Amino acid sequence: MQIQPDDIVFVLNPNSGNALHPRTLTAMCHAACNEAGHRAHVVATRNPLEAAETARAAHESGAAAIFGCGGDGTLSALLQGLPVGSQTALGAVPLGTANVWAYETNLPTTPFAAVSAQLAALDGISGEVAWVDTGRVWSTNPDGSIGQQRFLLMASWGLDAAAVSGIVGSDRRSRMKRMLGEPAYFLSAVQEAIGRQAWPIAISVDGGEPFQVDAAMLTVGNTRMLGTWLEVNPKANVVDGELDMLLVEGAPWKALALSPLARYGWLPQGPGVRNLRFQHLEIAMLGNPMPTQVDGDPGPPTAYAVDVEPQALLALCPVPTSEVLGG
């Protein structure tokens, strides 16, 4: 079956271990679309590249929306296939570990209700379809060419990226993630912080004079939260055409020690902890390169710049008053 104009495309990974069986999920997608008078087109993809190709095909076919059935990594994979300014809107069927985008935009937590609410936004019944900002990370590929990756939520350098890589690179920690969910990232961060030194870097914000810091962590947020636990960029929203950065200086354990405060949005501003807002950021590694993560998956090790892409993505927003949507 070919994707037709105005179709609603759903991308699911049959091997993801989601709580819903692929057959149940497929039936649910069709049922929600039938109820709203749309035609569902469900595509099984096995990896992020296939998901991105499906998003590109959906865009080229004029699909009204594409939903990622999974976590934030699935949404990120779809984003890579959508060009800036695509008329195909992005939707989420929250089935991942953290579902940060769904959390930030106040989507209903059950899959059927989440799809129905987003279709109601698409149809202008309640909520809205909003142009939201995205970010783009620039890096150098091993062959010297320029690499790039878009993000919806966040890119970061340092301790939390080391925690993400620690989970991806270790069977034991991956099992811990499946068993514990989000707390596994905190435990991984504890293990990564032990004995680690700060990373010396130089940063330039919006073309300004570079400044040097010994950093524990640097998060660049389109949205506010690191996972659904830590409010690292409390003033970030996805409609202001800027990205928000949290820079924590010092040894990585310092960032860890601050996490209980970030849990409640109480991060102090002052020496060693800074929130900045920018459109363009450049980072130079002056010592060991910092690990990176983009939307919850390990990022390119040679990432050197970040740009905001203002109003680059159509998002289905049943609750436009959500803080992250500027409401």
Least distance in angstroms from the C-beta of 311 to Mg ion: 11
C-beta of 207 vs 326, nearer to Mg ion: 326
C-beta of 240 vs 249, nearer to Mg ion: 240
Least distance in angstroms from the C-beta of 148 to Mg ion: 19
Q: Nearest residue to Mg ion, using CB?
A: 240
Q: What are the two backbone dihedrals, phi and then psi, of residue 197, each rounded to the nearest 5 degrees?
A: -90, 160
Contacts of 161 (CB under 8 A, 6+ apart): 290, 291, 292, 293, 298, 299
Give me the residues that bind Mg ion (CB under 5 A), please. 240, 242
Reference 321, options 148, 72, 68, 127; nearest CA is 127
C-beta of 182 vs 242, nearer to Mg ion: 242
Instruction: Catalogue the E-assigned strands of 61-174.
Output: 65-70, 89-94, 128-140, 146-151, 154-158
C-beta of 175 vs 235, nearer to Mg ion: 235
Least distance in angstroms from the C-beta of 317 to Mg ion: 15
Least distance in angstroms from the C-beta of 61 to Mg ion: 30
C-beta of 214 vs 323, nearer to Mg ion: 323
Q: Hunting for tokens 């939707």 — which residue is that?
A: 91
Least distance in angstroms from the C-beta of 220 to Mg ion: 10
